[in-house]
Structure 1
Amino acid sequence: YQQLKSHHDDSYDPVIQPPADAQSEDLVLYRTNVYLGLDPLETAFEAEARDLADRYGLDLSEESPADVTLGSLSPDDLDSWTAYSDDLSTQAADAGVSLSDGLYIDGVSELHMAYLDHSGEEHVTTTLEPDREPDTRIELPPADPGTLEQFQHALHFNLACQIRDCYIRMGLEPPEQFQCLGFGTLEAAEQYENVDFYPEYHMPEDGDLFLGEKRGSSFFGSSSPLSKIKSLFS
């Protein structure tokens, strides 16, 4: 929030500065990677999670998985936790039980950026990251974030658009709560711009579809391009 505000309000100091070879401080995309953790003891699958942990030689009576740090684990312990997590997810899915109540934000990367140099070549600044793939990435241009409350809403909306992008790029219609227009991921936005097949899901216009509302939009539904993809598999 502070970084975005610094582009529009001189009373806010920037958190990071664009590199010297950046073409413009406005031609940047700020990024923060988000890493999720799972505490199965906070889910309806708690009893099964404890039983499974015993089989892997893991003691959940002393500390919950949320209190375990990767740096404190030996290679063997890390392998055990990884196998346990995979097995737990499989068993919960087979039982039709959602583990979403146990999800929490385990960590975020430092703020970094993608930028264009004077030749128009894209670069990404480096930052310290956990040794695993992020679960999602917050990726925003230096637009005015408004108030903190408005910015929080924008983050929620951006994540909804990212979920929409995942469905669309698989040729599937998103669930109704994710049938929204707006910026999700840069990679998807570039495809919407450059591939004629896709409508511009990232560029909403007045009267088109917004979060949770359908107003006769051609972006979703039986007349949308997505329905033509699905018909190939029916």
Structure 2
Amino acid sequence: TDNNNVQHKIAVDTKGEIKGHSQDGYPDDPAERTEAANEHVNQARRFAKYWVYRNCGYDTLEPMRNPDRIAQAAAVLRPLTPETTDAFFGDLYRHLRSIGRDKRSPLELPAGVAATEAVYQQDVYLGVDEETATAYADVLADPAVLELLETSVAGAAPEPDAQTVADAAGIDLETLPNVRDGSLVEAVSGVHIHWDDDHGQYHTQWGDHPALERSPDARIELFAFDPENLDALREQLVRNLVCQVRDCYLTMGIAPPTAVRILGHGRHDASTWYTHYDFYEEYYDPDADIDTWYEEYTPPDAYSSD
């Protein structure tokens, strides 16, 4: 039942394709629905794919719409040293620092695109062997660890050290890999520049892609801001990813876990939806006063698997 009290029956195959969808509240033809009705239908489809992933173990979610994978990317970036941050995100850092200053940027913007209006994207590919991935994914997905991650990003608590993370997850510190040197990041892309034109059409100038035959685990999406230093950039990268985790749940029509109910820009498309549809609130605005997180539409076991 969606948050417009319409019931849906959705068939999802093991690859995440929708094989059947019936409902009793909207026209069957998408062209005959209102925009809001189409978004409610889309919410139901996103939730169905997530439910099959969470409860049946099939990889039915697009990687960059999987809240677990995005949370893992956030947790991997959180402890990076300034030197490692520079190695992965140096071009992005120097471009952001050049905006508003008389400094040359390493990026070339498309003609007519203002540096202050573009969205800067960069793909992150996590790289761990299967044994480490299995063990470390459990650590990063642990609710206690995620809460430490979120509160440190929000400034409500100091950045957790490795021992604190290990204690929160109930594991031996010796089993955690060294994460500060970026060993859990296999590659990053170049910087993509994303913008919309005067007619509201979106465009992307793609940066270099690494020679990997798979999708990235996360895509950072930042508006222009002035990072004081590389640590400030890293904090913003992590905050953006945590907000994207929040967006994954909200755009399914359910509440995010408490640990990621923070405000700020996450996914650019989600921020656009928040401004367009009345049933969303301004979650992208750090100063917004939020009335609802969709708790009433959230199954009690939405964040756990059988």
The one of 202, 207, 213 aligned to 1:127: 207
- Alpha-carbon contact 2:191-2:208 (below 8 Å) kept: no
Matches within 5 A, 1:195-234: 195-205=277-287, 208=289, 218-220=291-293, 226-230=294-298
For residues 101 and 172 of structure 1, the distance between their equivalents in structure 2, rounded to whole angstroms, comes to 32
For residues 204 and 158 of structure 1, the distance between their equivalents in structure 2, rounded to whole angstroms, comes to 12
- 1:69-94 deviation per Cα after TM superposition (whole angstroms, max 9, x unaligned): xxxxxxxxxxxxxxxxxxxxxxxxxx
For residues 184 and 251 of structure 2, the distance between their equivalents in structure 1, rounded to whole angstroms, comes to 26
TM-score by length of 2: 0.47
Matches within 5 A, 1:31-180: 31-42=121-132, 104-117=184-197, 121-129=201-209, 130-180=212-262
Partner of 2:20: none
CA drift at 1:19: 1.7
> After TM superposition, what 4+ stretches of structure 1 lie above 6 angstroms from structure 2?
none
Partner of 2:272: 190
Partner of 2:161: none
CA 1:127–1:44: 2 relative to 1, 3 Å: closer
For residues 118 and 188 of structure 1, the distance between their equivalents in structure 2, rounded to whole angstroms, comes to 20
Partner of 2:110: 19
Q: Which runs of 5+ in 1 are unaligned?
A: 47-99, 209-216, 221-225
CA drift at 1:180: 0.4
Mapped pair 1:29 → 2:119: yes
Please state whether the residue corresponding to 1:124 is helix, strand or coil: strand
CA drift at 1:132: 2.0
- 1:154-176 deviation per Cα after TM superposition (whole angstroms, max 9, x unaligned): 11111110111111112222222
- Alpha-carbon contact 1:43-1:101 (below 8 Å) kept: no
CA 1:157–1:23: 2 relative to 1, 3 Å: closer
Rg comparison, structure with higher value? 1
Give aligned-pair identity as a percent.
33
CA drift at 1:118: 5.9
Q: Which runs of 5+ in 2 are unaligned?
A: 1-92, 137-174, 178-182
For residues 183 and 205 of structure 1, the distance between their equivalents in structure 2, rounded to whole angstroms, comes to 11
- 1:179-211 deviation per Cα after TM superposition (whole angstroms, max 9, x unaligned): 1011001011011010110111101227x5xxx
- Alpha-carbon contact 2:118-2:194 (below 8 Å) kept: yes
For residues 155 and 127 of structure 1, the distance between their equivalents in structure 2, rounded to whole angstroms, comes to 18
CA 1:229–1:149: 2 relative to 1, 3 Å: same
